[in-house]
Amino acid sequence: MRKVFFGFATVMLISVLAQFYFATFGAFERPVPAPGAEDAAIMPHIINGTMVLPVLSLLTTIVAAVAKAGARLIWLSIAPLGLVIVQLFVVFEIAGLLGADENKTTPASLYVLGFHALVGVALLGVTVHLFRKSRALVKEGAANPVTVSA
């Protein structure tokens, strides 16, 4: 089960790395699409960040608990979901209160929206740490095989 946990941690890391690619891909689209356009190049970033990463985080947490990975790794597995919640319900909400919407921003909202990138970097750091710890858990299990006596 630890290998499955490592597999989920790997998929989550790949998804977070793809998230950075999708953000850049969408940021450089020209001409800039209309706000809310469904065919905008930023849509993979939005879908991955709001749907794929939270589901992966929940599944990884469940697998970590079943694999008896330990409390720290279980909490580390749910941390990406917490960071996505911070993005959606703290960073974007505060920016909205400071005057940001789909059509305009204010200087104050831009300062807050800068935290979107910082929380993203934190998400990457947490996911890399989770990947490394889950890999170590698999190696530890391989080094100490369980023997069953008859």
Q: pLDDT category, 141, cuts 50, 70, 90?
A: confident
Mean pLDDT of the chain: 93
Q: Where residue 107 falls among pLDDT bands split at 50, 70, 90?
A: very high
pTM, rounded to two decimals: 0.89
pLDDT in tens, 41-100: 999 999 999 999 999 999 999 999 999 999 999 999 999 999 999 999 999 999 999 999
Retrieve residue 69's tokens.
């990975």
